[in-house]
């Protein structure tokens, strides 16, 4: 593993241990050339899983992309990175356990929504509003209705504008 500071190829592993959920191995490394310390994660590589989009287009499954969309939904929410990592690992494991070479982007979206529902309701509403492409306030009403059936922390789950609302028309763009 190349040193990120000085690019030396001669770095050494000082310590390696599984993460809390045992889905990855965390290695602490040190570079003998510059003394730099850094951490790497080792994870299982999914055999080529293809994602089928709504348009019918196929793309290789991209864990980082999944993680980014979860992080966008959770932006500024009081949720530890470790829990986000665990949520994403959980989704990936569920995809693996399907045992299929292909999975629809809808299926992944549903898994993310299930996960966020248990983690943070505000993030859940944000994600759902983008994912389901809500147009009407009543769509939010229906979603909040679904959530309130379960109790738990609804005080703040007002319709939060999605961080990347793609349905906003480009107002007055000249």
Of 6 and 44, the one with the shorter C-beta distance to Zn ion is 6
Binder among 29, 31, 91, 122 for Zn ion (CB under 5 A): 31
Structural tokens at position 22: 């045992």
Local structure of 47: helix, strand or coil: coil
Binder among 33, 71, 114, 139 for Zn ion (CB under 5 A): 33
Q: Is 5 in contact with 73 (CB distance < 8 Å)?
A: no
Decide if residue 5 touches Zn ion (CB under 5 A).
Answer: yes
Q: Work out how close the CB of 32 gets to Zn ion at its nearest, in angstroms, rounded to a whole number.
A: 8
Question: Who's near 129: CB < 8 A, 6+ residues apart?
Answer: 139, 140, 143, 159, 162, 165
Which stretch in 28-36, 54-62, 81-89, 101-109 sits in contact with Zn ion by CB under 5 A?
A: 28-36
Of 6 and 50, the one with the shorter C-beta distance to Zn ion is 6
Binder among 2, 8, 163, 164 for Zn ion (CB under 5 A): 8
Q: Work out how close the CB of 28 gets to Zn ion at its nearest, in angstroms, rounded to a whole number.
A: 14
Secondary structure percentages of the chain, helix, strand, coil, to 5: 40, 15, 45
Neighbours of 77 (CB within 10 A): 17
Angle at 79 between CA 83 and CA 139, to 5 degrees: 105
Q: Work out how close the CB of 38 gets to Zn ion at its nearest, in angstroms, rounded to a whole number.
A: 9
Cα distance between residue 43 and residue 61, in whole Å: 15
Of 3 and 73, the one with the shorter C-beta distance to Zn ion is 3
How many amino acids of this chain bind Zn ion (CB under 5 A)? 8
Decide if residue 6 touches Zn ion (CB under 5 A).
Answer: yes
* Residues forming the site for Zn ion (CB under 5 A): 3, 5-6, 8, 31, 33-34, 36
């Amino acid at each position: 593993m190349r040193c990120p500071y000085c690019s030396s190829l001669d770095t050494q592993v000082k310590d390696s241990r599984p993460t809390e959920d045992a889905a990855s191995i965390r290695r602490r490394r040190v570079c003998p050339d510059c003394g730099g310390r850094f951490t790497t994660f080792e994870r299982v590589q999914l055999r080529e899983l293809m994602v089928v989009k709504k348009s019918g287009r196929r793309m290789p499954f991209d864990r980082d992309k999944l993680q980014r969309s979860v992080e966008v939904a959770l932006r500024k929410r009081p949720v530890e990175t470790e829990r986000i990592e665990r949520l994403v690992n959980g989704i990936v494991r569920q995809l693996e356990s399907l045992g299929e070479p292909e999975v629809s982007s809808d299926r992944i979206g549903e898994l993310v929504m299930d996960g966020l529902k248990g983690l943070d309701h505000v993030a859940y509403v944000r994600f759902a509003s983008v994912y389901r492409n809500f147009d009407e306030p009543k769509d939010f009403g229906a979603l909040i209705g679904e959530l309130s059936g379960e109790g738990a922390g609804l005080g703040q789950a007002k319709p939060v504008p999605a961080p990347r609302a793609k349905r906003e028309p480009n107002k007055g763009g000249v």
